[in-house]
């Protein structure tokens, strides 16, 4: 069963914040998805935290990949998609 979390930060930046963003939660066998709308305050130090998280997440993906699990990380401007599938 595959699950997807799609985070769209919308317009904004880390210095001024993101006034409106969405988080979508999807399941492969369920055509209905959940969507949460909210805002994020400014966080100028988030860039370094994101880089650290990305390194840790990639290490985790590499470790689980050997167990026939598939992780997908797609980064596109202000949104990214992380999917996990276990056959």
Distance CA 25, CA 10 (A): 17
Q: At 70, is the pLDDT very low, low, confident or very high (cuts 50, 70, 90)?
A: low
Residue-wise burial string across 61-73, b where 16 or more C-beta atoms lie within 10 A, e elsewhere: beeeeeeeeeeee
How many CB atoms are closer than 10 A to CB 56? 10
pLDDT tens digits along 7-38? 898 898 888 889 999 999 888 888 788 999 99
Could you give the angle at the alpha carbon of 60 between the alpha carbons of 74 and 68, nearest 5°? 85
pTM score of the predicted model: 0.48
């Amino acid at each position: 069963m595959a699950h997807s979390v799609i985070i769209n930060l919308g317009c904004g930046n880390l210095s001024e914040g993101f006034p409106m963003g969405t988080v979508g939660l999807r399941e492969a066998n369920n055509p209905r998805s959940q969507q949460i709308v909210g805002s994020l305050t400014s966080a100028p130090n988030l860039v370094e935290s994101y880089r650290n998280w990305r390194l840790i997440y990639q290490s985790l993906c590499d470790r689980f990949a050997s167990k026939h699990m598939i992780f997908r990380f797609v980064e596109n401007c202000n949104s990214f998609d992380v999917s996990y599938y276990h056959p």
